[in-house]
Each structure stands twice: as structure tokens, then as C-alpha cells.
Amino acid sequence: MATSPNTYRFDFEPWSFWTTATAAEKQDQLDWQAALAAQGQMTFGSQCFISKLAGVFPDSLDMGEGCYIAAHAHVSHTLKMGNHCSINVSAVVRGKVTMGNGVRIGGHTSILGFNHSFKTLDLPIHQQPLTFKGITIGDDVWIGSGVTIVDGVEIGSHSVIGAGAIVTRNIPPYSVAVGNPARVIKNRQKRSPVKQVMGKLKKLKLIWQSS
């Protein structure tokens, strides 16, 4: 296949692939997905993109429609993605992870749905078994760059996780969470106190509104 100047751009900016790639590039991507699927336990919805520069070595991978895995991402173990999910450059998704629809994962984020046992003192940690509780991420979740999510966490739908956050406990739906450890600083469904007061004053017609 002839390589265009945009070929490697798609590995790092895959969201533009299906609207701007050549017919040959699209066919090459479909052939790549077929080769991955032939290994077993991998399924892909329509208009998915998996960079050839990504490390995709799952026991099971199920990608919905319009999903992508960008360059230098690392995917292993068991991953189920809804529709229109993204794993951006150098993100790591390992262990048992389930995503709803519209989950967007920023670059250099680690979502680790497994852990190392270290109970036995007379055995090196690397020789002790892994444990898998799993991570569940709801619909319409934006996870910023450089976030770490540890095993056993559930992130509610419509939430935002700020860049660099370390998520060690469940995040309720509609939350904005930041920090280390991550804490909820806002509920997206609730208006600020100032806006609540302004809204009440408008209802009482105490604030002039232009027609």
C-alpha cells in the first residue's frame, strides 16, 4: 500500500481517519483488524481504528462502533468498549475493564483493572498471583491525560476526571473529580449557589431581562 504523508498522523490522531483517509488506507486498516480478529477473542464494530503502533495483546477485546486505539497505547487482559470510545496516545488499559458509550481516555492515562498480591513475605512480589476486581466506566465519561485508575473502581456516567488525578474509590455519576487521591469537587447536575439565586430572582421578576 502506498504511504501518504497522513498515514502516521492517523496513528496519533485517529479521530480523523474515516473522514480523511484514502480508500487504500481504509482497506489496509480493515485488513489489520481482520488479522487481529483472526487471532481469536477480538471483535470490532464499524469504523474502528487500531494503530499498528499500539500494543494490543488482549485475552478478550470487544470494540463497539467508532472506537479507536492510538499509537503507543497498551491494551491487555479483558476490555469491553461501548460505542465511540477512545484510547489515546500512550494510554494503558490492562486487567478487567468495561466501558460504556462515549468514554474518552486522554494520553498517558493508566486504567489498571488488576493488582499484584503481596501478602506472602517469603515469596517475591513478582512471583505472587495477580488479582482482578475490575474497573467499570459508565457512559459519556471524559478521563483527562495522566490519570491513574486503580482496580475495583467504578466511575459513574457523565463524569469528568481531571488531568493527573489518582482515582482510588468510586466516583458517582455527573461528578467532576480531581487530585491525588481524586475527590469530587462538583456535581454537573447542580448549579452554583450564585446561579441558583439568580434563577430564583428571575422567576420572581426581580432582575430585568431584555426582550
In this structure, are residues 146 and 163 in contact, taking their beta carbons and an 8 Å threshold? yes
Q: Measured between alpha carbons, how far is 193 from 119 in angstroms, rounded to an integer? A: 48
Q: Measured between alpha carbons, how far is 76 from 89 in angstroms, rounded to an integer? A: 15
Residue matched to cell numbers 501518504:
4
Cα radius of gyration rounded to whole Å, the chain? 21
Q: Measured between alpha carbons, how far is 148 from 68 in angstroms, rounded to an integer? A: 20
The residues near 58 (Cβ < 8 Å, ≥ 6 apart) are 41, 42, 75, 76, 77, 78, 79
Q: How many CB atoms lie within 10 A of CB 57?
A: 12
Q: Measured between alpha carbons, how far is 139 from 159 in angstroms, rounded to an integer? A: 9
Annotated active-site positions, please?
116
Beta pairing, strands 104-105 & 92-99: unpaired
